[in-house]
Each structure stands twice: as structure tokens, then as C-alpha cells.
């Protein structure tokens, strides 16, 4: 599959079009050979093609930004379910990276008011590029903000007003072994979460509790080994109801959701 996607990218055609090609021009073949060698050295496929598919979007990615994973599409869908039927809900995506969740919400719910927050100076350039591309294509513009999701002074104007806070935060425990595609190419700020992987999540919980309206929703992606630890952490800090964990399509624990105490019954 990787080889087919690389060849399709070189030729500028959909992957299915390869079935009907009669020949590959010499220059394209040489470029393809070079890309295959890079992929064999564990450069991420998406860095070589320059794009990553996410739900209904194609996002620009490359060195300096976390490559969005298919598993994250599920939490984006969960956000959209929470705001379905609302005219102008506020959604804040903390640690947005390429902007995958934020831009998908804006694309699929045109009335949503979406803020995408990113702390990494390199990653946010990709966020801004993707946000500008989607706005030019006619999607509702997303506000891109440089900031730390654990900062107590982040987005003070939205205190108590946000309908959904969502995050795919850094959650890898310090010292964990990772595939070379991740360890060598994803930005460290997007990966490492302290000794137990939950240091950033602890700060995120404070920020979310401040930003959300009573009854507002929180969604946090996590590693498959944290399906018990994250819900336990959310319950332990208090102020949340309806804490639940959700599996990905492979049946592995993937994200935790909760509702800020004070609203209608949790779903």
C-alpha cells in the first residue's frame, strides 16, 4: 500500500488510477525510487506524500507536526455528535497539531465556532496553513491560537462558555519505546507526558473545567494502555459526571469523555 500511495503521489493521480497506467515516465520512476528508499529508512509515509487523510479532509503535514491517526477520527465524530442540532456551539481543540479535529468540526458543522490551540512553534505553522486552506475552500474559519493547554490564563474570554473541549494531548510515558516513524519524526511536545504519561492531562483538566459551561463536554484521547488510568484521573479531580471510556474500531481503549457537573444528565 505504501508503495502504491507513493507512486500515486509522484504521478499526481488517485491510487486506483495505477491499475490502468501503461508506463511510468523515467523522471517519475527515479523520484519514486528515492521515496521508497526514504520510506524504507522509516520516514513517515505522510511526510513523503505531504498529506494525511482525516475524515473528509486532506491535511498538509510534514516535519514538525504530529501526523493525525485514523483512530482520532472517532473522537472528532464524538464532538460532532455532541454539538449536533446546536446553532453556534463553541468548540476548543487543545493541542491541535495539524488542526485535524478542529478543521473537521468546522467542515462538518458550519455553524460551530472553533478555536484551535497549539503550543509548538513548528506545528502551529502547519495548523495555520491547513486552516487557511480550508477557509479558502469555503469552510467556516477556525481561530488558531498559540498557547499551552495547561496555562491557567488561556482563553479567559471563553471562561464558562464552551460547549466542548477536546484534545489529543501528549500522553506517552517518559522513556517509552516508540516506532522510529514516531520517535524520530513526530515533535516531542506532541508525545511525552511525564513519568506516567498523564502530566499534561492533569493540566488539561483544569483548563477544561474553567472553559466549559455547566454541562459542557470534555473528550480526551489516550493510549490504549490508559483506558483505566485516564477515567480514574478524571473522577479523582472531582467536578465531572458521566465519565466513560470508548474503544476504537479495533476494540482498544482510545478516548475518555465526561461532562462538567451542573448541566442536564450525561449521555
pTM above 0.85, yes or no: yes
168 part of the active site = yes
pLDDT at 189: 84
State pLDDT tens for residues 6-37: 999 999 898 999 989 888 999 999 999 999 99
Exactly one of 44, 54, 130, 168 is catalytic; name it.
168
pLDDT at 266: 37
CA angle 225, 41, 100 (to 5 degrees): 50
pLDDT higher than threshold 60 for residue 263: no
Exactly one of 66, 89, 231, 253 is catalytic; name it.
66
Full set of structural domains in the chain with CATH: 2-41 (no CATH), 54-260 (3.40.50.150)
Exactly one of 44, 169, 170, 231 is catalytic; name it.
169
Least confident of 125-129, 174-178, 230-234, 254-258: 174-178
State pLDDT tens for residues 42-69: 999 999 999 999 999 999 999 999 999 9
130 part of the active site = no
State pLDDT tens for residues 167-187: 999 998 898 888 888 988 888
pLDDT higher than threshold 50 for residue 265: no
66 part of the active site = yes
Amino acid at each position: 500500500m505504501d508503495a502504491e500511495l507513493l507512486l500515486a503521489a509522484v504521478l499526481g493521480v488517485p491510487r486506483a488510477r495505477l491499475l490502468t497506467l501503461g508506463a511510468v515516465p523515467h523522471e517519475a520512476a527515479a523520484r519514486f525510487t528515492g521515496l521508497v528508499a526514504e520510506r524504507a529508512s522509516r520516514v513517515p509515509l505522510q511526510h513523503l506524500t505531504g498529506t494525511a487523510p482525516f475524515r473528509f479532509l486532506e491535511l498538509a503535514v510534514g516535519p514538525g507536526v504530529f501526523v493525525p491517526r485514523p483512530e482520532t477520527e472517532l473522537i472528532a465524530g464524538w464532538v460532532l455528535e455532541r454539538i449536533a442540532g446546536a446553532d453556534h456551539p463553541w468548540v476548543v481543540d487543545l493541542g491541535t497539531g495539524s488542526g485535524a479535529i478542529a478543521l473537521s468540526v468546522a467542515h462538518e458543522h458550519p455553524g460551530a465556532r472553533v478555536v484551535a490551540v497549539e503550543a509548538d512553534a513548528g506545528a502551529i505553522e502547519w495548523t495555520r496553513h491547513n486552516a487557511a486552506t480550508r477557509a479558502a475552500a469555503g469552510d467556516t474559519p477556525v481561530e488558531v491560537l498559540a498557547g499551552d493547554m495547561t496555562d491557567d490564563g488561556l482563553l479567559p474570554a471563553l471562561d464558562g462558555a464552551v460547549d466542548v473541549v477536546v484534545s489529543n494531548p501528549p500522553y506517552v510515558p517518559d522513556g517509552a519505546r516508540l516506532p522510529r516513524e514516531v520517535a524520530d519524526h513526530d515533535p516531542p511536545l506532541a508525545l511525552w507526558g511525564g513519568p506516567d504519561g498523564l502530566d499534561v492531562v492533569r493540566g488539561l483538566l483544569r483548563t477544561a473545567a474553567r472553559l466549559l459551561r455547566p454541562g459542557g463536554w470534555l473528550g480526551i484521547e489516550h493510549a490504549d494502555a490508559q483506558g483505566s488510568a485516564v477515567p480514574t484521573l478524571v473522577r479523582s479531580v472531582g467536578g465531572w459526571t458521566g465519565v466513560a471510556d470508548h474503544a476504537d474500531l479495533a476494540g482498544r481503549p482510545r478516548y475518555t469523555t465526561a461532562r462538567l457537573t451542573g448541566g442536564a444528565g450525561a449521555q
